[in-house]
Amino acid sequence: MAEYKRPTNEQEFEENFAQKKPLMNSTEAYYESSRCLYCYDAPCMHACPTGIDIPLFIKQIHTGNTTGAAKTIFDANWLGNACGKVCPTGVLCEGDCVYNHQDVPAIQIGRLQNYATDQVISEGKKLFEPGPDNGRKVAIIGAGPASIACACELRVMGYQVDIFEAKEKPSGLTVHGVAPYKITNEEVLAEMDFLQNQLGFHINYEQKISTPGQLQLLEGEYDALFLGVGLGPTASLRLPGEDKAQVIGAVEFIEALRMQQHKISIADRVVVIGGGNTAMDAASESARMGAEEVTLAYRRDKASMGAYDFEYKLAVSAGVKGIFNAQPLEILGNGTATGVRFIKTKTVNGKLESIPGSEFEIACDLVIKATGQAKHPHFLSMIGGLELDAKNRIQVSDSFQTTNPKYFAGGDAVNGGAEVVNAAYEGKMAAKGIEKWLNRDLN
């Protein structure tokens, strides 16, 4: 009962993953922007982690100053274009738009934002330039949103910036992780090019930093370092049979999907294990790739899922079937996964208990584990004096300085996994922290 046909070429892939927030045309932008009330001390702006002056950029769009609108957006958020498309706006800016209180549809802030930034990006309009060289150098590890935001901010202040990235593309999970119906690879990379062309930071691709020797070299050569390493691969489930073929982590599955698109071939029957947003994405994406049967299995009840409600609904609308209170016991199969054995659970006094004798099996050809991303404790332990919290998150001060003063950090590695917009904010604030620290250092 697949709702989607298997995509066999780029066009079919794009149809199956049609953009949830397509680009507005100028007429749509004109009328939508006309509705904004220009609230005083606007609540939408407070709900944006980067604090974009939303009423201002919307008014700028309305008065035909789209370039100025884009500048307002990038001034607050270096990933303004990606954020317009991938932010969960319903729980951020749009969720706090005053119109909600009178049951009038909230202003489509994300799409308006995108309308403005897309225009300057596609025209390659010059909005920013590096500040005069201040003679200082910063090394950045990782090229995800946190790092890119940090790099842009540092360049504006006149720093030389060198980024070291393990993969061959910038933007981290924005291009490798976010669902394709939120943003296309081309859109993500166009914003990266736009920023790099204007601000000229260097990115060294396929340069994973993994030894104490490399770190020492960087520490010697640079005035400060920024860690924007995000999270690691999918964490282990510690389940018997997890090492079988056709068992894959959600992050790895999604990365393959984003990089190879229609060229990957999805199994007929897919079981996704997990209840977070990544699980919803992996399930939705499997369905959109044309899998016959996609089951999303979560060990607690529906209400306890970490995922946003709208993400679950989106998965269901793509044909995904959710089953709850199902705890996986074992991945079945002879070398290759053929199914998952579950046991039913219930919550007693807040504790999850399995119900004896309630085991059942679901046959499948692919198991996707969406049970969270591991962190990088091994790599981080190579940095002297760098303290992690109990959840292996890097500890930072208000200015995003780690416990090793030369190192600053931001993004998922610090917040434990949030949104692109949080990473963008933290990276930018870390750049300001670096400037503050180095200036005080000089005095």
Partner 1 sequence: MPDLSINFAGIKAPNPFWLASGPPTNSGYQVMKAFDAGWGGAVWKTLGVPVINVSSRYGSINYRNTRMAGFNNIELITDRQLKDNLREIEEVKKYYPNHAVIASLMVETKAEWHQIVKDVENAGADGIELNFGCPHGMCERGMGSAVGQEPGVLKTIVGWVMEVAQIPVITKLTPNISHIVDPGLAAVHGGTDALSLINTIKSIVGIDLDTYAPYPIVDGKGTNGGYCGPAVKPIAMEMIKELAKHPEIKDTPISGIGGVETWRDVVEFMLLGASSVQVCTAAMHYGFGIVREMEAGLQQFMLDKGYNTIYDFVGKALPNVTEWKHLNLKHKVVAEINSDKCIGCDLCYTACDDGAHQAIKLDRTNGNRIPEIIEENCVGCNLCALVCPVEQCITMERRDDGREQISWHERTQAGSIPTSFNDERAGGNHHFVPTVEDALKHRK
Ligand X SMILES: Cc1cc2nc3c(=O)[nH]c(=O)nc-3n(C[C@H](O)[C@H](O)[C@H](O)COP(=O)(O)OP(=O)(O)OC[C@H]3O[C@@H](n4cnc5c(N)ncnc54)[C@H](O)[C@@H]3O)c2cc1C
Residue 75: CB atoms within 10 Å: 16
Phi-psi map region of 235: left, alpha, beta (phi>0 left; psi -120 to 50 alpha) = beta
When asked if residue 55 is in the footprint of ligand SF4 (CB under 6 A), the reply is yes
Candidates 30-38, 114-122, 283-291, 336-344: pick the segment binding ligand SF4 (CB under 6 A). 30-38
Q: Are strands 137-141 and 224-227 parallel, antiparallel or unpaired?
A: parallel
Tokens read off for 254: 């999604």
**Cα gap 264→190, rounded to integer Å:** 24
Binding to partner 1 by CB under 8 A, coded x per residue (else -) over 9-48, reads ---------------------xx--xx-xxxxx-x-----
Residues 6+ apart with CB under 8 A from 186: none
CA distance 198 to 152: 9
Query: Using CB under 8 A, which of the segments 94-102, 162-170, 273-281, 341-349 binds partner 1?
Result: 94-102
Q: Shortest gap between Cβ of 50 and ligand X (angstroms)? A: 12
Nearer to ligand X, 172 or 433 (CB): 172
Cα dist. 55→29, 91, 207, 387 in Å?
A: 14, 18, 41, 40
Q: Which of 2, 23, 56, 98 binds partner 1 (CB under 8 A)?
A: 98
Per partner kind, with CB cut-offs from 5 to 8 A, the member of partner 1, ligand SF4, ligand X, none near residue 107 is: ligand SF4
State the DSSP string of 207-230: ----SHHHHHHHHHH-SEEEE---
Per-residue binding string, ligand X, 232-261, x by CB under 6 A, is -------------------x--x-------
Dist CA 256 CA 177 (whole Å):
9
Taking the least distance from each CB to ligand SF4, the nearer of 42 and 283 is: 42
**Contact residues for ligand X, defined by CB under 6 A:** 86-87, 141-147, 164-167, 172-174, 177-178, 182, 208-210, 228-231, 251, 254, 278, 281, 379, 411-413, 418-421, 423
Site residues (vs partner 1, CB under 8 A): 30-31, 34-35, 37-41, 43, 62, 98-102
Q: Which residues bind ligand SF4 (CB under 6 A)?
A: 36-39, 42-44, 54-55, 97-99, 107, 109
